Chains A and B, each alone.
Chain A
Amino acid sequence: MMNAFRRGALANLPVAASVVAYGAVLGVLAAKQQIAWHSLLLMNLSVFAGSAQFVMVEMWLPPLPVLEMVLGVLVINMRYLLIGASLRPLFSGCPLWQKALGMHLVADENWAVTMAAYRRGQASIAYLMGGGVCLLTVWCLGTLAGHHLGAFISRPEAFGLDFAFVAVFTALLVGFWRDRSDWLPWCAAAGLALLTHQLLPGKWYIITGGMGGALLKVWQSRSALPNASRVDEPPNES
């Protein structure tokens, strides 16, 4: 058990390097938004979701738009429903308290590493947790270091650091591309986001663009469904 935990932590070390750097950028942005280090630490420990925390920090202008922030986090982290669902075989037969404790430490990175190990038959809950603790530790170290050093950078814009979150999400976005059927939903998302960005204050453009694009994807596959099911069904004549 302890061995699997250590193996999980070690398997996440290569990712951990970029998590530190990514966290440092968040820390710098947080300092720029005048977020106290203990608020940042509390967020790290309780939310523990990179993209969502970036969005929260980005929206952090007093008076805090709490509803938009929480809705933004909801829409951004919607993917955890599927990630959680995909972990069902790993947690099968476990008591509820293990699921309740374990799921908090599931991030994109250790989930991906664990699913890869699971296919080789080497994953366990301890392995997943080892990765989670490793990531949470470096996430806290990176963000707090960035926050501390960021206080010495008077104008982060001069270093292009305001563009850092756009760049991080752009880099992450590449991994979500599947095939040409993504073109239309992604263009719709971009169009809706730009339109909403012009018309509405705050971050509603993430919600309208995200939901609109995904709904278009559903409509797209719905209209493709009759053909697909005809292929799957055995011919009635025979």
Chain B
Amino acid sequence: MPLQDHHALIGMAIGGAALITYGLRLGGLLLSEKLPRTGAFKIFLEALPGTILVSLVVPGILTAGAWGWPAAALTAFIARKTGNVFMAMLAGVMVVALVRFLET
């Protein structure tokens, strides 16, 4: 693929992501008076972050191999107990790294 095309795609991806994200941020504020405070749309939007993260995480855990699930469980446990996302992440990554180190 020509380099020019690659750069054009990079510009489109970042520009598109930036526009979409900014549109959602400002749009949320400006539409807030028109958005229903109750009802299906609100429930949908409220449930979305959780279900998106589940969808994101589950195939990734499976791809990580047999120790993916124990590592993810430890991560979730530490996040729940301490509320520290960084420490939780570190623990999960260390489990996977350790298993890989021992297996090679």
Interface residues of A (CB under 8 A from B): 17-18, 21-22, 25, 39, 42-43, 46-49, 51-52, 55-56, 62-64, 66, 69-70, 73-88, 91, 99-100, 103-104, 106, 157-177, 182, 185-186, 188-190, 192-194, 197, 205-206, 208-215, 217-218, 221-222
Contact A85 B32 (CB under 8 A): yes
> In which size bucket is the chain B interface?
35 or more
Report the separation of the CA atoms of residues A49 and B83 in the bound assembly, to the nearest whole angstrom: 20
Q: What are 24 A-B pairs with beta-carbon distances under 8 A?
A: A39-B10, A46-B17, A47-B18, A49-B21, A70-B13, A74-B20, A81-B45, A84-B28, A85-B28, A87-B28, A103-B25, A158-B104, A160-B93, A160-B96, A163-B71, A163-B96, A171-B89, A172-B53, A173-B50, A185-B51, A209-B58, A212-B51, A213-B50, A218-B40
Contact B52 A46 (CB under 8 A): no
Contact A81 B10 (CB under 8 A): no
Q: Which residues of B contact A189 (CB under 8 A)?
A: 50-52, 54-55, 58
Report the separation of the CA atoms of residues A192 and B56 in the bound assembly, to the nearest whole angstrom: 11
8 more contacts with CB within 8 A, not counting A77-B24, A88-B33, A166-B57, are A39-B14, A63-B5, A75-B48, A84-B29, A87-B29, A158-B104, A160-B100, A163-B71
Interface residues of B (CB under 8 A from A): 1, 5-6, 9-10, 12-18, 20-22, 24-33, 35, 40, 42-62, 64, 68, 71-72, 75-76, 78-80, 83-86, 88-98, 100-101, 104
Contact B58 A169 (CB under 8 A): no
Contact A88 B32 (CB under 8 A): yes
- Would you call the interface of chain A mostly helix, strand, loop, or mixed? helix
Q: How far is the CB of A88 from chain B (nearest CB, A)?
A: 5
Q: How far is the CB of A56 from chain B (nearest CB, A)?
A: 6
- Would you call the interface of chain B mostly helix, strand, loop, or mixed? helix
Report the separation of the CA atoms of residues A216 and B76 in the bound assembly, to the nearest whole angstrom: 24
Contact A80 B28 (CB under 8 A): yes
Contact A210 B43 (CB under 8 A): no
